[in-house]
Amino acid sequence: MAEQYMVGLLGGVIASLLGFVFLYCNFLIRFRGLRKLNRAASMEFPKKNSVNKTGKSEGVGTTDIIIVGAGVAGAALAYSLGKDGHRVRVIERDLNAPNRMAGESLTPGGYLKLIELRLEDCVDEIDAQRLLGYTLYKDGKEARVSFPLEKFQSHVAGRTFHNGRFIQRLRKKVASLHNVSLEQGTVTSLIEENGIVKGVHYKNGNGKLLTTYAPLTIVCDGCFSNLRRSLCYSKVDIPSYFVGLTLTNCNLPKENYGAIILAHPSAIVFYQISSTEVRCMVNVPSENVPSVSNGEMACYLKTQVAPKVLPELYDSFISAIQKKGNIRIAPNKIMAAAPHLTPGALLIGDALNMRHAITGGGMTVALSDVVILRDLLRPLHDLSDASTISKYLESFYTLRKVL
Ligand X SMILES: Cc1cc2nc3c(=O)[nH]c(=O)nc-3n(C[C@H](O)[C@H](O)[C@H](O)COP(=O)(O)OP(=O)(O)OC[C@H]3O[C@@H](n4cnc5c(N)ncnc54)[C@H](O)[C@@H]3O)c2cc1C
Residue 223 near residue 347, CB atoms below 8 Å: no
- Closer by beta carbon to ligand X, 101 or else 297: 101
The CA-atom distances, in angstroms, between 18 and each of 107, 145, 147, 232 are 11, 11, 9, 28
Closest distance to ligand X from the beta carbon of 350 (Å): 4
- Closer by beta carbon to ligand X, 198 or else 228: 228
Question: Could you say which DSSP state residue 293 is in?
Answer: T
Closest distance to ligand X from the beta carbon of 78 (Å): 11
- Closer by beta carbon to ligand X, 284 or else 351: 351
Residue 138 near residue 264, CB atoms below 8 Å: no
Question: Could you say which DSSP state residue 97 is in?
Answer: P
Residue 373 near residue 346, CB atoms below 8 Å: yes
Closest distance to ligand X from the beta carbon of 3 (Å): 25
- Closer by beta carbon to ligand X, 187 or else 301: 187
Closest distance to ligand X from the beta carbon of 355 (Å): 8
- Closer by beta carbon to ligand X, 221 or else 277: 221
Closest distance to ligand X from the beta carbon of 240 (Å): 10
Taking the alpha carbons of 50, 55, 60, 65 in that order, is the dihedral positive or negative?
negative
First-to-final CA distance of the chain: 28
Question: Could you say which DSSP state residue 320 is in?
Answer: H
Closest distance to ligand X from the beta carbon of 403 (Å): 12
- Closer by beta carbon to ligand X, 327 or else 366: 366
Closest distance to ligand X from the beta carbon of 111 (Å): 11
Interacting residues toward ligand X by CB under 6 A: 68-74, 91-94, 101-106, 186-187, 220-223, 226, 242, 330, 349-351, 357, 360-364, 366
- The edge-to-edge listing of strands for the beta sheet with 277-285 is 141-146, 133-138, 257-261, 268-272, 277-285, 237-248, 328-334
Closest distance to ligand X from the beta carbon of 25 (Å): 20
- Closer by beta carbon to ligand X, 280 or else 351: 351
Residue 2 near residue 264, CB atoms below 8 Å: yes
**Closest C-alpha among 139, 359, 157, 133 to residue 253:** 133
Residue 210 near residue 52, CB atoms below 8 Å: no
**Closest C-alpha among 180, 186, 182, 173 to residue 222:** 186
- C-alpha to C-alpha distance for 204 and 53, rounded to whole angstroms: 24
- Closer by beta carbon to ligand X, 114 or else 351: 351
The CA-atom distances, in angstroms, between 364 and each of 66, 110, 230, 282 are 22, 4, 25, 22
Q: What angle do CA 146, 139, 288 make, to 5 degrees?
A: 95
What is the β-pairing status of strands 196-204 and 328-334? Answer: unpaired
Closest distance to ligand X from the beta carbon of 369 (Å): 8
Closest distance to ligand X from the beta carbon of 2 (Å): 23
Phi, psi at residue 287, to the nearest 5°? -70, -10
- Closer by beta carbon to ligand X, 277 or else 350: 350
- C-alpha to C-alpha distance for 221 and 92, rounded to whole angstroms: 8
- Closer by beta carbon to ligand X, 226 or else 388: 226
